[in-house]
Amino acid sequence: MYQGFMYYMRWYRDFFVDGWNDMGPSEYGMLLLSIGVFGWILMKNSVRR
């Protein structure tokens, strides 16, 4: 069971590392924009005291 878990963890790690290394300027810009919009939505919907 542990080996199966580690196999999937390595696969996901390699998948995301390959995606990060092959990222072009437009994909990087979209990533930053998405993170910014997501953070703005979280701050906008936060509970005010």
Half-sphere CA count of 34, side-chain side, radius 13 A: 6
> What is the model's pLDDT at position 49?
64
Which pLDDT tens digits describe the chain residue by residue (49 residues)?
Answer: 889 999 999 999 999 999 999 999 999 999 999 999 999 999 998 877 6
Assign 47 to helix, strand or coil: coil
**What are the distances in angstroms from CA 42 to CA 5, 30, 36, 49?**
32, 18, 10, 15
23 touches 31 (CB < 8 A): yes
